[in-house]
Structure 1
Amino acid sequence: MAVAGVGAYVISEQLLGHETPLFAAVAALIAMGFTKEPRLRKVVEVAIGCTLGVLLADMLVLGLGGGVVTALVAVFSAVMLARFLDPGPLLAMQMGLQSLLVVMVPVPADAVLGPFTRSIDAVVGGATALLITLITPKDPRGEPVREMREVADQFTLALRETAAALHTSDSRQAWHALIRARGLQSQVDETSKALSSAKELTRYSPAHRRHRHYVRRIEHTAGKLDLAVRSLRLMTRRAVSTIDHARLSDSGTVQLATVLEQLADAAGQLGQATRETGPGFDRWMNTARDSLAAVATRLHPQRLDIHDLEGEALVLLARTMVVDLLEATGCEHDDALTYLPAL
């Protein structure tokens, strides 16, 4: 942020000859935002908002002069235009703020382009912020990998809690697993946002283009893991009911719990793959695929000594989840189905 703000100021002052180019520094700082890893789309949105807000206010000042009435008209017009261009709050806030500052801050007497000098400064600030975002030496894989690792870890814990609940016939523990599974959705959403940012950087930044293939792969894995999380929520909720009504035989309970523990082990291997950004990624993915395939071959109610509808529903939900996880490892849908025994 410091480099962006000072750099934009220096460019406007030294290269363009603008005196006290305050709006260049302000636009750059606002566009960068107070985050460790500014996202490209957000930087572009804020930069455009700053520039349009300054330009609109400059035009109103030129036509109406300064004053409170002009400020009111400028801010209202900027916010309405922003809402028309983008329903999100970010663009409206930046356009309104910049319009207010332009009207209230006097134009320098020796401005090269008159009131429109500040519009040029805003363009310089936004462009500087965008350039720094593109060339900053950071790994775009870092944030999505961290987010997806957290999802995989919590997913594995929820599976283990469900298996333990079946072993002990403890519906409260199954409820804890359900609460954990429900809480995963916000983390899944954060993973999606992080992947969107990473895709933008690898698409437009020459420094990060080499990571495009990896980002596409983990995006596919994250999408399938999202589906598995949804199946997990359904299964844990069903497990609560099954335990409360004591629908499973002792043998069926033990075997189903064992299968879920094995499934949790395989999910843990998938989580380990998300920690790798090199050759270890493929190695762990292959290991997870083999483990999931072994679990899939057991997912038949009769093989697990399950003969009632509630128990069969648990097995069917586990089958769906295993297919999602197999696809997360890179397996094709039809190939994943071949591992499941016919019903």
Structure 2
Amino acid sequence: MITRRVSGRVRGALVERWRQLRAVEVVVAQSAVSAALAWFLAAELIGNPQPVFAPIAAMVTLGISAGQRLRRAVELVLGVTAGIAVGDGLIYVIGRGSWQIGVGAALAMTVTILAGGSAGIVSQAATSSVLVATLRPPTEGIYFTRLIDALIGGAVALSVMALLLPVNPVTVVSRVARPALNVLVEGLTVTARGLAERDQDPVQEALAALTRGEEKLDEFYEVLPQGREAATIAPLRWRSRAALQQYVKAAEYVERAVRNARVLTRRAVTLLRDDEPAPKELVASLCGLAEAAKVVQRDLRRGSMPKGAVELVCHAVEQASAAYRQGLGFSGSVVVAQIRAIATDLLGTTGLPHDEAEREVRRAGGTPGDSFEAGDETRGGADPQGRPRRPGGDGTS
């Protein structure tokens, strides 16, 4: 048992590492090609026998943490310029040694900070000053070839990123969005199974998975700038702007849906613990929402608006309202409210404005759904005194 559990964890870790590598594989290729090409151009065209700064500039410009490479390239050139100027001048005057390296780095950082430079500029200035003092310390004046190397490296990196090996922004974003939506799909599906079987354990597992899903959402937001950058500067990817924009608009709704699903699942645990009723319509509603989330995931990956999810969402709301009419406990009523909240979120990913999505949910839910607002756990399914609402709407229990 223990061996199987450890094996499962190792396998899961390897899968996660492979997924992370797949997410940056194009950036790795870009960095390798840029470093080699920058050295070649600086050495062969400019005639610098040791163009160390060219591949360094290319690597720093691209970096693994993408999304702000244009700004980073400008900061790189400014920082390297300041570092080279300070390093060359100071080391030429005071000589080479350990304390001189420290003084040069401190002075380069001081100059760039006083000039209003960002953290990137300050860091590059200090790094360049140290490299100047250690790799090829000045003996006959300032070497302007170092600045040219940095310019070549930055230009090569941006050219490779925009023209030679541009990333597909939709692929990059969908690869990260898929796990985030998977968390939602699995959470709803497992919760539905737990309610159907009257078993708290799978619902507890779903709650834990949805809580961990916050990390997937963080990754989703982190990769969006990289997708926007690729769609902006790479001519071959300009046609991806519309599809990428759909992801950008959907991101907020996906985040809300996951958080609402976590509230729903927590309340489902209480429902089972208190032995409240869970009609088959309530289970069917959760399964319907999961299917709708799958459609959203599929259509966003294809670059199309997920209109096919609308019918599934509305049917899920109808099922939830049918369960509500049969009479639910307090927790069951809150589950219905959260179903309506998630339904509104999923409709938002289809391009519907929020107000229109709420109207669709009310229309699909019928009269009982008008007694509470989607997404409000404290009001959903309860009267102002906290008593469960019933179909009559009078708040009596």
Instruction: State the TM-score bracket (shorter-chain normalisation).
Output: 0.7 to 0.9
Counterpart code for 2:83: L
The worse-fitting range, judged by mean Cα deviation, of 133-142 and 169-178 is 133-142
CA distance in 1, matches of 2:125, 2:335: 53
Counterpart code for 1:226: E
Contact 1:177 1:236 survives alignment (8 Å): yes
Q: Please give the secondary structure, in 1, of the residue aligned with 2:320.
A: coil
Q: How large is the Cα RMSD of the aligned pairs?
A: 2.7
* TM score, norm. by length of structure 1: 0.85
1:8 aligns with: 38
How much does 1:46 deviate? 6.4
Contact 1:40 1:130 survives alignment (8 Å): no
2:219 aligns with: 190
2:311 aligns with: 290
The worse-fitting range, judged by mean Cα deviation, of 48-57 and 234-243 is 48-57
Partner residue of 2:260 out of 205, 223, 231: 231
The worse-fitting range, judged by mean Cα deviation, of 234-243 and 304-313 is 304-313
Contact 1:24 1:122 survives alignment (8 Å): yes
2:294 aligns with: 268
2:174 aligns with: 145
Counterpart code for 1:11: L
Percent identity (aligned): 23
How much does 1:51 deviate? 5.2
Counterpart code for 2:293: A
How much does 1:102 deviate? 1.2
2:269 aligns with: 240
CA distance in 2, matches of 1:301, 1:26: 64
Contact 1:54 1:99 survives alignment (8 Å): no
How much does 1:216 deviate? 0.4
CA distance in 2, matches of 1:302, 1:91: 60
Runs of 4+ in structure 1 over 6 Å off: none
CA distance in 2, matches of 1:271, 1:11: 44
For residues 1-343 of structure 1, the aligned pairs below 5 Å read 1-33=31-63, 35=64, 39-42=66-69, 44-45=71-72, 48-49=75-76, 52-53=79-80, 55-63=82-90, 64-65=93-94, 66-78=96-108, 81=112, 85-86=117-118, 94-107=124-137, 114-135=142-163, 136-246=165-275, 248-249=276-277, 252-277=278-303, 281-282=304-305, 285-300=306-321, 303-339=324-360, 340=362, 341=365, 342-343=370-371
Contact 2:87 2:130 survives alignment (8 Å): no
Distance 1:79 1:85, change over 3 A: same
Unaligned runs of 5+ in 1: none
* TM score, norm. by length of structure 2: 0.74
How much does 1:180 deviate? 0.9
How much does 1:85 deviate? 3.9
CA distance in 2, matches of 1:157, 1:2: 38
Unaligned runs of 5+ in 2: 1-30, 372-397
Contact 1:28 1:47 survives alignment (8 Å): no
Q: For this pair of structures, how many residues does the alignment match?
A: 328
Distance 1:286 1:220, change over 3 A: same
Distance 1:240 1:79, change over 3 A: farther
Q: Please give the secondary structure, in 1, of the residue aligned with 2:327.
A: coil
How much does 1:234 deviate? 1.1
